[in-house]
Structure 1
Amino acid sequence: DYDADMVSYVDLCKLFFEIHDPSQTDGIGPDLGPQYRSMIFYMDEKQKSEAEEVIELLRSKGHRVNTKLRPAEKFWEAEDYHQHYYDKTGGEPYCHIRVKKF
């Protein structure tokens, strides 16, 4: 669960952009398809505006951003085999190497 008293929505957005490549249009790395798109979900207009500001900040620094913004609606939990994936497989996440951008 997200706790705004622990971390701001802006900081979450910034971290999101630092741990993946938002320049790809239909996936991340070798994982292609609409379920792998770079996307930020927002709960209200304030969060939408904050996400837009972070995206504009990245673009002003020369980064290409193809991340989509969508209102948070119905949530479907991923299938069990996706839960705790790296704990189960012993693999290393290839797209979560943090690259400082802010």
Structure 2
Amino acid sequence: MAQAIFGGGCFWCTEAVFLSLKGVENVISGYAGGRIENPSYEQICNGDTEHAEVIQINFDDQQIDFKQLLDVFFATHDPTTLNRQGNDVGTQYRSVIYFENAQQQQQASDYIDSLKADGLNIVTELSPVPTFYPAEDYHQNFYARNPSQGYCNFAIPPKLMKLRSKFNDLLKNDE
């Protein structure tokens, strides 16, 4: 089992996207990259802890590889806006890839370089994996458990539609 940690704004949104992919065994919403231990959601929301909302993706790299995860990551959030995704504003919503090893670092760096060569102003942070803190239980699998929640209804369906249109071949059979 391989692992990737991405931050692309609200973890409810990114979790819903990556849970749809074949080869993804589970996704854990959490916090990383900050300066205090065991932060709470309330602490993260005020933006003072320097953590990002992230997801930890556990995947079978024989079914889906890190490059394919990068394809989905960059297509389903805006990597050109600093500390903002849609209506979510603050450092906790920054675009970030925390790499697990030199291979992930190189692949992510090359991917970012190719987007920049295409003229995009990519602001995605690329850093070694810091301590990952799982978010509170009520944040886990949030969209599946709360599909009628207002924010979820507004923000997540467009991401899932984009995922289906661009990456249908990567989706689990039941999607």
What is the TM-score with the length of structure 1 in the denominator? 0.83
- Aligned Cα RMSD in Å? 2.0
Q: CA deviation at 1:89?
A: 4.4
- Aligned counterpart in structure 2 of residue 80 of structure 1, from 124, 137, 140: 137
Provide the C-alpha distance between the structure 1 equivalents of 2:127 and 2:77, rounded to a whole number of angstroms: 18
Q: Is residue 23 of structure 1 aligned with residue 80 of structure 2? A: yes
Q: 1:35 to 1:95 in 2, by over 3 A?
A: farther
Give the greater-gyration-radius structure (CA): 2
Q: Which amino acid aligns with 2:143?
A: Y
Q: Which residue of 2 aligns with 1:66?
A: 123
Choose between structure 1 and 2: higher strand proportion. 2
Partners of 1:79 and 1:36 in 2: CA distance: 17
Structure 1's consecutive aligned runs of 4 or more residues displaced over 4 angstroms after TM superposition are: none
Q: For residues 18-48 of structure 1, what are the alpha-carbon distances to aligned partners after superposition, in whole Å with 9 as ceiling and x for unaligned? A: 0001111112111112221100111111110
- For 2:128 and 2:113, the matched residues in 1 are separated by 19
Whole-Å separation in 1 of the counterparts to 2:128 and 2:63: 22
Q: What displacement does 1:16 show?
A: 0.1
Q: Distance in 2 between matches of 1:84 and 1:9?
A: 22
Structure ranking higher in helix proportion: 2
The 3 A distance-change label for structure 1 pair 21 and 27 is same
Cα distance change, pair 77–95 in 1 and its aligned pair in 2 (3 A): farther
Question: How much has 1:94 moved relative to structure 2?
Answer: 6.3
The one-letter code of the counterpart of 2:92 is Q
Structure 1 alignment gaps of length 5 or more? none
Specify the SS of the correspondent of 1:96.
helix
> Secondary structure, in 3 states, of the residue corresponding to 2:121?
coil
Q: Which runs of 5+ in 2 are unaligned?
A: 1-57, 167-175
Question: What do the CA deviations read for 1:60-102 (whole angstroms, capped 9, x no partner)?
Answer: 22222100011113211122332222231423316725386xx
What amino acid is the match of 2:114? Answer: L
Question: Equivalents in 2 of 1:8, 1:57: separation in Å?
Answer: 18
Residues 1:96 and 2:159 aligned together: yes
